Chain A
Amino acid sequence: MSSFLRVEGLQHAYGGRQVLDVGSFELGEGEIIAIVGPNGSGKSTLLRILNLLEEPTAGELTFWNGVRLSTMTRQEKKELSGKMAMIFQEPLLFKRTVRANVAYGLKMHRVAKEERNRKVQEIMERLDIEELAERDAMTLSGGEAQKVTLGRALVLEPRLLLMDEPLASLDVPARKSLRADISRLVKEMGVTAVYVTHDYHEVLEIADRLAVLLDGELQQVGKPTEVFGRPATEGVAEFLGAENLLEGEVSACRQGMADLDIAGINIEALCEEPPGSRVKVLIHPEEVVLLAGSGDAGSARNRLPARVSDVKALGALVKVDLDCGFPLIAYITLASREEMGIERGRRVTAVIKATSIHVLPYVGPGA
């Protein structure tokens, strides 16, 4: 995938306070990158900088046509801005008809009336909002309004679409419908998109890559499965809702395989840290296998005798809290629960493969 937008050493400060230090990353043409992070982590600021609405304190942006931010002329900035569109969290519609709203950007770019009408009609048909065309935009529901803002952005046929939590203000059905529209149209039109959100669940289906931004710093960029499977830092793991994030110490290490001491219990994991290092250990609950009694653990290296301390049904899955010398959470199916008779107080064996245990560098409190 060719580089479409390159960000290097980007920093931004407000009144001397550093709010963004994202280092470097690249965007491939036609990909959807999701930038996730908690509120106040600098996501919207990053988006405004990419949209040339704000100038960064330091750093360089190189756009698809080779134009660099540091040497950009007014004309180049205008041309680039014309190739980008942004959607905000609230549907910011103007007090006019839906058709006039969708046509707004084209009018600003002085597109001839016939061409403008044709494009507006076409995008409204693709979004299935033609019947709203003559409605006053102020009378639309949240979902309809955000659909109109999507149309208003896409009618410009942007090369880069920037979305700032576009689903945040919608209810669940509207979210689902708009997410599908975004995904379909962005891919159909070959638009490169940056999607910012604090709720990573909403982008897993549509993002090609996931970037995690914490306290203004870009912590990790990768495919969603990679970032979820192997979070680069404790902060990323915590933000992504890791349930088994444990503290431990490397007691021995040989050829990439380490013995880890977690609350006095020894487990084996892939790790390069020297003995004596403090580490954080991430075990995804769905990678913990429960066996009734001692059972057959296959090739798994870690077999931990455990007692079930709590059982909660979560729809089709069951969350099992275990005490195996340290607290551990496992997810099993309803069928497995019935088959094994998993109840509070039941003795089981928790089996974890060494490759399913992710060892992260330890960051102490306040770091």
Chain B
Amino acid sequence: MGDIWEGLVEAVKLIFSFDPYVMRITLFTLYVCAIATFFGMLIGVPLGSVLALYRFHGRKFMVTLVNAGMGLPPVVVGLFIYLLLKRRGPLGFLGWLYTPRAIILAQIVLAMPLIAGITMAAMQNVNPKLRLQSKSLGAGEVRSTLTLLRENRLSLVAAVIAGFGGIISEVGAAMIVGGNLLVNGEPYTRTLTTATVLEISKGNSTSAIALGLILLAITFILVWVMTLIQQGTLLNHPARLARSLMSRRRKEEPA
């Protein structure tokens, strides 16, 4: 128990002293997760929408793939990406193995099905007549789909939360394809999760606890912000405040 308490105190000191090593790993983790979530959304949201709104040959197979993808083990994804990117693999010529790009690629593969699957489920739950209504008011295929996505923004934010949460906490794929490397003493492919595993294996529980705490804090803050966006409080509150100030000013003016 004493070790844990000591570890916690040390961890807090490490965080608030803005230790360069810890800061770099944290920023690198945010960087790869943000890019992977962005690309996961870029592919997942349209894919989920198409699967929900259109009927075509092979749709069922694709739905099965997306659903299966939602439960992909990160280690298996890491292994698969490793086999693709290794020097003699089909994509070996890219030279991406043990680079941040490899981690991003693996994380896109992990996040995309989560985002596509949740988008698909949400879009399927919308009254199909809403799209007809949108079309009958002049929206084409794309704009009527965008309208539906906007109607579903709560679920879309949930999809992004799920995608981001899924990749920021995974360690297997990042470890396999990134290699947890330091280059010239600087973290190169070291994420918060891979660094935590390394610190534990070295018996350095203070650093491991610090990294773990940072990971928890980041996940909590980002999910909290996204939840505020989802529930409309973050964006609506300032707008509502501005509106109320404006109307108060208008009322005061004649007086």
Contacts and interface: CB of A to CB of B under 8 A. Distances in A.
Contact of B129 (A82, A88, A104, A156): A88
Given A94-B151, A95-B151, A105 B138 contact: yes
Contacts of B133: 86, 88, 92
B158 to A, nearest CB: 16
B137 A156 contact: yes
Contacts of A84: 136
Contacts of B135: 53, 81
A259 interface: no
How big is chain A's contact interface, by range?
A: 20 to 34
Interface string A57-82: 00000000000000000000010011
Majority SS of interface residues in chain A? Answer: mixed
Contact of A53 (B136, B140, B147, B151): B136
Q: Which residue of B133, B136, B137 has the most chain A CB atoms within 10 A of its CB atom?
A: B137
Q: How large is the interface on B (under 10, 10 to 19, 20 to 34, 35 or more residues)?
A: 10 to 19
Contacts of A109: 138
A92 B147 CA distance: 12
A90 B138 contact: no
Contacts of A48: 132
Interface in A109-153: 109, 152-153
Contacts of A156: 137-138
A151 B139 CA distance: 17
B137 A53 contact: no
A81 B130 contact: no
A84 B133 CA distance: 12
B132 A85 contact: no
A53 B139 CA distance: 12
A84 B138 CA distance: 9
Interface in B108-156: 127, 129-130, 132-140, 143, 147, 150-151
A48 B136 CA distance: 9
B138 A81 contact: yes
A108 interface: yes
Contacts of B138: 81-82, 105, 108-109, 156
Contacts of A108: 134, 137-139, 143
Contacts of A95: 150-151
Interface in B11-44: none
16 contacts: A48-B132, A53-B135, A81-B136, A85-B136, A85-B137, A86-B133, A86-B136, A90-B127, A92-B129, A92-B130, A92-B133, A94-B147, A104-B137, A105-B137, A153-B137, A162-B136
Given A94-B150, A95-B150, 17 more contacts: A48-B132, A51-B136, A53-B136, A85-B136, A85-B137, A88-B129, A92-B130, A92-B133, A94-B130, A94-B134, A104-B147, A105-B138, A108-B134, A108-B137, A152-B137, A156-B138, A162-B136
Interface of B: 127, 129-130, 132-140, 143, 147, 150-151
8 closest residue pairs by CB, A with B: A105-B137, A108-B138, A86-B136, A92-B133, A108-B139, A109-B138, A92-B130, A105-B138
